[in-house]
Structure 1
């Protein structure tokens, strides 16, 4: 797996070759360019990462304010966010292509960008496999198909290996906490839920209709998760994760199964999500060992 992280970003590919390109984005719309994009604006951190991984980093001329990885992205012109975008500065960059996260509050901005005659690629990955597909599509749009194909294949191989390692393990009830005020989680359609499933975890709020719903403390207590995983905003353990300790009857508290994963490697739709998956799977394996040592039974697939 270490070779995957080192190789996915790689070095910029050769200049894009002339020729019309067409791809279908995650909304089902076709994005057609007269030739591969030489000037790209990215309005989401995961898209900036994907573009670099696909060999198109040298073509990125503008990014949103949260794009900070790889380190080279910090030195690219920042344009604000999809909700508060410096349109004048964006237009001055004369992009051939703008890539944006559809579920990240970008719907109104997409309409605005298109009304200005800009080509827009909508990203909205919902499965782990969608990450590899996104690499391939972005590589085609940027004319860096060879590196994008290598990155996509490396991702698929690493994902397959993780699935093989964790197939058939006893299932655990998992609560993933995005934030505390309000208390927020993810539903079964979210990519993080797919990571849980990969590791043998069942999302206790999978059936909720909203992608990132608000929930109550009472609902968490009723579902009685065996594992609680929090993200927060940094590497440090968020203080609000410790707040669950007062609920001593909660299975996750009794088993001392409160964990943290840095949001950048679990909440961004990029190849680095497999690092987050490795971490989550490791946590769930720790809980299984605790339960085995206590003679507690667990359901299997």
Structure 2
């Protein structure tokens, strides 16, 4: 049986404290030794593990785990929304890192019932991302690398916050899907990155983290800039579709900006790259007034 304290009554002093971490469900997980066989259950978590200096300890990941390049070579154990439980068990992991919001709760419960150590990583703020890297580093025994990566991320975010603290606001529509048309509210990391750059999310008050939106609502709101990803890291077709709405300020000023979706939609250190690019785009929009 793989060692885990999940549900155990064993005292914490029985384990090395450096291999303990409290996850984002406020559950404490301790390992008897640094994790050597890790499975990441979302593409974002795969990136977090590599950022923590523990990519070499990954034995599998889920579909669409494509960054860094080495992640493409990892065996797959299904998708983030449906795992291959037999494949996971056969790999004998000593740490599973889960995404509570996207992973099926029933399957996570099954993995825990099998005695597998499950750690939940669900960062929803910039500091949470840095903390996630640090905590994964504790469990994997790569704390030095993880702490360095976390510090770099925090410093980069702080620099952007200082630089754009007094920047004139730009009203932004953030498009995360095209059919149906979807956007995010103020709680989403994309919206927080928008605010970091001095942008104002025109749908910040929506009740759901991500939601469908009517085309008419976007036209009525008349954003100064539209920022979108696409069906790939270089596909800006979604933006091209807005060109026919020449009454929009964003179209009139050519403020239709592309940001590779994985740099904004995954809670990883690459969010700093996405935020920097977004800030540049919003500076361009200000210059076009």
The TM-score normalised by the length of structure 1 is 0.87
- CA distances 1:113-171 after superposition (whole Å, capped 9, x unpaired): 21222111112111111111011010011111111111111111111112122121000
State whether residues 37 and 97 of structure 1, in contact with CA within 8 Å, keep that contact through their aligned partners in structure 2: yes
Which of 287, 293, 298 in structure 1 is aligned with 2:285? 287
Displacement after TM superposition at 1:83 (Å): 2.1
Name stretches of at least 5 consecutive residues in structure 2 with no aligned partner: 1-14
Displacement after TM superposition at 1:240 (Å): 3.0
Which of 40, 43, 46 in structure 2 is aligned with 1:45? 43
Q: Are 2:105 and 1:110 equivalent residues in the alignment?
A: no
Q: Aligned partners of 2:27 and 2:224: how far apart in 1?
A: 41
Displacement after TM superposition at 1:34 (Å): 2.5
Name 1:132's counterpart in structure 2: 130
Displacement after TM superposition at 1:84 (Å): 2.5
Q: Are 2:65 and 1:34 equivalent residues in the alignment?
A: no
Displacement after TM superposition at 1:51 (Å): 0.8
Name 2:12's counterpart in structure 1: none
Q: Which aligned segments of 4 or more residues in structure 1 are displaced greater than 4 angstroms?
A: none
State whether residues 183 and 215 of structure 1, in contact with CA within 8 Å, keep that contact through their aligned partners in structure 2: yes
Which of 239, 256, 263 in structure 2 is aligned with 1:241? 239
Which deviates more, 100-109 or 197-206? 100-109
- CA distances 1:184-235 after superposition (whole Å, capped 9, x unpaired): 1111111111100110001111111211111111111222111101111223
Displacement after TM superposition at 1:271 (Å): 0.9
State whether residues 176 and 229 of structure 2, in contact with CA within 8 Å, keep that contact through their aligned partners in structure 1: yes
User: SS in structure 1 opposite 2:287?
Assistant: helix
Which of 249, 255, 258 in structure 2 is aligned with 1:257? 255
Alignment of 1:171-186 (within 5 A): 171-186=169-184
Name 2:8's counterpart in structure 1: none
Q: Aligned partners of 2:161 and 2:238: how far apart in 1?
A: 31
CA shift in 2, pair 1:88/1:29, >3 Å: same
State whether residues 19 and 36 of structure 1, in contact with CA within 8 Å, keep that contact through their aligned partners in structure 2: no
Q: Aligned partners of 1:251 and 1:169: how far apart in 2?
A: 19
State whether residues 41 and 103 of structure 2, in contact with CA within 8 Å, keep that contact through their aligned partners in structure 1: no
Q: Aligned partners of 1:23 and 1:169: how far apart in 2?
A: 38
User: SS in structure 2 opposite 1:78?
Assistant: coil
Which of 155, 160, 163 in structure 2 is aligned with 1:162? 160
Number of residue pairs aligned between Structure 1 and Structure 2: 274
Name stretches of at least 5 consecutive residues in structure 1 with no aligned partner: 1-17, 292-301
Q: Aligned partners of 2:236 and 2:156: how far apart in 1?
A: 30
Q: Aligned partners of 2:277 and 2:118: how far apart in 1?
A: 34
Displacement after TM superposition at 1:289 (Å): 0.5
Which of 6, 14, 19 in structure 1 is aligned with 2:16? 19
Which deviates more, 228-237 or 130-139? 228-237
Displacement after TM superposition at 1:102 (Å): 1.5
State whether residues 82 and 103 of structure 2, in contact with CA within 8 Å, keep that contact through their aligned partners in structure 1: no
Which of 89, 92, 110 in structure 1 is aligned with 2:90? 92
User: SS in structure 2 opposite 1:185?
Assistant: strand
